[in-house]
């Protein structure tokens, strides 16, 4: 592939040519789920985005090491280091073991990743299994004079790291003037963040460990620095996550990592996907405006139709979720699969120039900061391009699908979702009644009338289902 891959770097605010630090090997870290509850489709957008990045790098012939973490301890309910640990809170509310809750929702997340055709991570690392690495990094920061102790824990002193504001272009003076809601007393600066929280002896916790500073548990941010460094080294290529991580989580990761490791930059390229929005608001568990993948399946939609839906928007743009848009994506996905699978498999002889032109359009889109809408449009164009032979189109779609991940040539499509139209529903019901009464002439008349409108009816064991076209 000759076209260079250009990715938008949140650190520099521009698209940059990607060149791996190690020849032939790309190393990626992606912030994964906090597994105190089910992962909703907004969370899954981050997974599909990172999967498209992974696939784009592999398409260039690179070996990829993709590390994803699971936060099963340390993520507090408040970014200002106050509140409860989300895992502990879920355990208290349900009367269950925190480890069992984490196992349940980690499995749900992994199952949904598989349903959305996300390639499995090369390394899946859990915060609770890397406490020693987190303690070691905090000890390094302490030795470098970057920490201080207050009543509730060990904190990172952002004044010791002059580049703290760089990633998110923060205004620390404004933060100093008005502390974050729920912030912790005795912090030297509102932006200072917890590295290790002390366990309250009066509170029974399920998750706490011994440390040089006393019994407790790690803060949220330190896990990503410690685990990414273990598996990817002190300096790696790409870090991904949601745009909401820019101002706190990723900013804090950079500060503690670059301070502890003595590197600049710690990560070459930072990439952030924007939110799914529902009714104008970010989709979030706290707002209660969420779907999980199973909800879409229960609506009659295909999981890969949701991947198709996500491909219709660029990862750096907000994407609105509405039932009609999801259903339209399901219809569009089924149509594209049907087109792909209808193509004969003859060899595409004598069509090299036309095929290469089509191939260039597709891969130029991919290499332009993973422009999925353009790439999807290029695939749809090829599927219906009768100037190319069926064999050529099938060959191109097979190649494109290695990035799209839609199973265009292999998906087994179940019955399409039933479109709603009360008038047509009534006539289909009347035909069904005529069939039940063995009035075949009336049943045929109603079928022919509907056919004249472009309505086809399929009689299934569960009753008739109609569709347009």
**pLDDT the model gives residue 416:** 53
pLDDT of residue 430: 83
Architecture of the domain spanning 299-404:
Up-down Bundle (1.20)
pLDDT (0 to 100) of residue 421 = 66
Q: Residue 228 to residues 68, 113, 138, 195, 464: CA-CA distances in angstroms? A: 9, 21, 15, 16, 54
**CA–CA gap between residue 227 and residue 212 (Å, rounded):** 20
User: In the chain, what are the domain boundaries?
Assistant: 6-277, 299-404, 422-468
* pLDDT for residue 461: 57
Residues in the chain: 469
Domain spanning 6-277: CATH 3.40.50.620: yes
Report the 3 state secondary structure along the chain. Answer: CCCCCEEEECCCCEEEECCCCECCEEEEEECCCECCCCCCHHHHHHHHHHHHHHHHHHHCCCEEEEEEEEECCCCECCCCCCCCEHHHHHHHHHCCCHHHHHHHHHHHHHHHHHHCCCCCCCEEEEHHHCHHHHHHHHHHHHHCCCEEEECCEEEECHHHCCCCCCCCCCCHHHHHHCCCCCCCCCCCCCCCEEEEEECCCCCCCCCCECCCCCCEEECHHHHHHHHHHHHHCCCEEEEEEEHHHHHHHHHHHHHHHHHHHCCCCCEEEEEEECCEEECCEECCHHHCCCCCHHHHHHCCCCHHHHHHHHHCCCCCCCEECCHHHHHHHHHHHHHHHHHHHHCCCCCCCCCHHHHHHHHHHHHHHHHECCCHHHHHHHHHHHHCCCCCCHHHHHHHHHHHHHHHCCCCCCCCCCCCCCCCCHHHHHHHHHHHHHHHCCCHHHHHHHHHHHHHCCEEEEEECCEEEEEEC
Helices 440-452, 422-436: axis angle to 10 degrees equals: 160
**pLDDT computed for residue 151 by the predictor:** 94
- The reply to whether omega before 182 is within 30° of 0 (cis) is no
The pLDDT tens digits along the chain (469 residues) read 568 999 999 999 999 999 999 999 999 999 999 999 999 999 999 999 999 999 999 999 999 999 999 999 988 877 777 778 899 999 999 999 999 999 999 999 999 999 999 999 999 999 999 999 999 999 999 999 999 999 999 999 999 999 999 999 988 776 654 444 346 889 999 999 999 999 988 888 899 999 999 999 999 999 999 999 999 999 999 999 999 999 999 999 999 999 999 999 999 999 999 999 987 777 776 666 789 999 999 999 999 999 999 999 999 999 999 999 999 999 999 999 999 999 977 777 778 999 999 999 999 999 999 999 999 999 999 999 989 999 999 999 999 999 999 999 999 987 655 555 667 777 887 898 888 788 899 989 998 998 888 888 877 655 677 776 5
Strands across the sheet containing 153-156: 147-150, 153-156, 193-198, 216-218
Interacting residues of 463 by C-beta distance below 8 A, sequence separation 6+: 432
Q: Report the distance separating Cα 52 and Cα 68, nearest Å.
A: 15
- Verdict on whether the full-model pTM lies above 0.85: yes
What is the pLDDT, as a whole number, of residue 6?
98
Contact 143, 246 (CB under 8 A): no
């Amino acid at each position: 592939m000759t076209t260079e891959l250009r990715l938008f770097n949140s650190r520099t605010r521009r698209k940059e040519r990607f060149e791996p630090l190690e020849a032939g090997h790309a190393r990626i870290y992606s912030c994964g789920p906090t597994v105190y509850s089910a992962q909703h489709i907004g969370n899954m957008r981050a997974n599909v985005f990172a999967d498209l990045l992974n696939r784009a790098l592999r398409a260039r012939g690179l070996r990829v090491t993709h590390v994803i973490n699971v936060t099963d301890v340390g993520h507090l309910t408040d970014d200002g280091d106050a509140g409860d640990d989300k895992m502990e809170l879920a355990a208290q509310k349900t009367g269950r073991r925190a480890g069992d809750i984490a196992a349940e929702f980690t499995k749900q997340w992994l199952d949904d990743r598989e349903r959305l055709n996300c390639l499995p991570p090369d390394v899946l690392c859990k915060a609770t299994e890397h406490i020693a690495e987190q303690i070691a990094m905090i000890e390094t920061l302490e030795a470098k004079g970057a920490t201080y102790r207050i009543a509730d824990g060990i904190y990172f002193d952002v004044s010791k790291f002059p580049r703290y504001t760089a990633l998110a272009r923060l205004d620390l003076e404004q933060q100093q003037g008005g502390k974050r809601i729920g912030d912790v007393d005795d912090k030297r600066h509102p932006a200072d963040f917890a590295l290790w929280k002390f366990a309250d002896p009066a509170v029974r916790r399920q998750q706490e460990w011994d440390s040089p500073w006393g019994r407790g548990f790690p803060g949220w941010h330190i896990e990503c620095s410690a685990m990414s460094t273990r598996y990817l080294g002190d300096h790696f290529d790409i870090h991904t996550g949601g745009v909401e991580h820019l101002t706190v989580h990723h900013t804090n990761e950079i500060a503690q990592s670059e301070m502890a490791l003595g590197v600049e930059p710690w990560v070459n390229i930072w990439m952030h996907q924007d939110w799914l929005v529902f009714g104008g608001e970010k989709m979030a568990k706290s707002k209660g405006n969420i779907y999980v993948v199973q909800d879409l399946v229960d609506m009659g939609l295909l999981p890969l139709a949701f991947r198709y839906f996500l491909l219709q928007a660029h990862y750096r743009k907000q994407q609105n979720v509405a039932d009609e848009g999801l259903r339209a994506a399901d219809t569009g996905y089924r149509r594209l699969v049907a087109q792909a699978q209808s193509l004969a498999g003859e060899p595409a002889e004598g069509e090299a120039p036309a095929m290469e032109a089509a191939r260039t359009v597709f891969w130029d889109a991919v290499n332009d900061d993973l422009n999925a809408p353009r790439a999807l449009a290029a695939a749809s164009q090829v599927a219906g391009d009768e100037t190319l032979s069926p064999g050529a189109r099938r060959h191109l779609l097979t190649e494109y699908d290695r990035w799209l991940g839609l199973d265009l040539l292999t998906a087994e499509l179940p019955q399409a979702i039933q479109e709603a139209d009360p008038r047509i529903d009534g006539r289909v019901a009347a035909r069904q009644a005529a069939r039940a009464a063995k009035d075949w002439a009336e049943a045929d008349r109603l079928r022919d009338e509907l056919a004249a409108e472009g309505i086809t009816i399929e009689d299934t064991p569960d009753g008739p289902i109609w569709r347009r076209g």
